[in-house]
Amino acid sequence: MFRTLNPSYRIGKYALVYINVLCMQNKITMTSIFTVGIIGCGPIGIECGLHALHNGYNILLFEVGDDLASNICLWSHVQLFTPFRMNISSLGQTYLQAELTKDELNSYLTGQEYIEKYLRPLGLKFINNILFKHRVISIGRYSDENKFVLLVEDKNENMEKYYYVDYLIDASGTYKCPNSIGIGNIPAVNEQRLESFIKYDIPNLNDDRIKLSLAHKRILLVGKGHSAANSALLLEEVLQNVDYIIANVGYQPDRALYSNLNVHECYKTKGPISLAAKLLASCNDTTDCLKQISHGKESLKTTESNFFIVGVKSYGKLTNFLLKIGFEQVEQVFQLINESR
């Protein structure tokens, strides 16, 4: 763990000297072990961890929440629309060390069941490499060592720290970055002012507290995708007379995270350009997202060497991502890492 400046430290010429000494100490420390950094501990981040473990790489996995799969925890009551067999990988099954029956493979799990049945047992394989309650604020290059430097908020110690990694994989997802309600994805009139009356996730009406808070209220549901459909089904129980707005209008990537890197993005999808070009070109090939295929390891290269975006975030604003595609992406990324070393 690197030493860090206490925020209350008085800034002046002595503080600058302190920072310089700190940087020199970090420089010596970070050259010792080849490390792969992974942002996000959801299904795709955990898959990255498994592949790193399988290949014998040291990893640092940054998770903003205090548990595995913090995004899924927010919709843990919702049933996945694909069967369990489509939401597991061959490597995951190997590490799971459990024979799954045909009925289990064809079952449709809720988010919570998926965490407990699959993600948690796998995450425990490298639990000591997961930094919980660590939010990555920004990413840059430490040019002298050709490493990535990450500014990270450690919520456990209420301080910010630098971490250095050789390769970096962004598997942070999009769930914490919802679209706005207004035309063209800009905020609707007064949307920001009324933020406290708007929910961008799917309400859990199995929670009596939430159910009571919505009962006898007029609720406006905005959206037309799977999330909105789930909300509509759940709200049938409480919809009466608009006191609240539920905005299930999709999500988009938080690109500010890597704004200091040289990542060429697609103007339309806001995803990395190589993959976006393949995805847009294949849009007319099929209207069934379940039939889509992976586009190969070359499509996962970004214009920033040794930096990869995988999972739903790699699709940008497109909405047809599948976990099975994400697992294939991770396998291909580690092929690229192995080839480049």
pLDDT of residue 228: 57
The DSSP string of 112-157 is HHHIIIIIHHHHGGGGGGEEETEEEEEEEEETTTTEEEEEEEETTT
Q: How many residues does the chain have?
A: 341
Asked whether the CA dihedral 327, 328, 333, 339 is positive or negative, the reply is positive
Q: Looking at the domain assignment, is residue 285 inside a domain?
A: yes
Per-residue pLDDT tens for 302-311? 999 999 999 9
Q: How confident is the model at residue 95 (pLDDT cuts 50, 70, 90)?
A: very high
**What's the CATH number where 132 sits?**
3.50.50.60
Note down the domain range covering 198: 183-247
Phi, psi of 66 (to 5 degrees): -100, 10
What are the tokens at 48? 């990255």
Number of domains in the chain: 2
* 3-state secondary structure at position 78: coil
Residue with more model confidence, 278 or 223: 278
What are the tokens at 105? 């493979």
What is the C-alpha to C-alpha distance for residues 211 and 59, in angstroms, rounded to an integer? 41
Per-residue pLDDT tens for 196-224? 888 888 888 778 888 888 777 787 778 76
pLDDT of residue 286: 56
Torsion from C-alpha of 27, 261, 281, 313, nearest 10 degrees: 70
Q: Looking at the domain assignment, is residue 3 inside a domain?
A: no
Q: Name the pTM for this structure.
A: 0.83
Calculate ∠ Cα 250-252-254, nearest 5°.
145
Q: Looking at the domain assignment, is residue 53 inside a domain?
A: yes
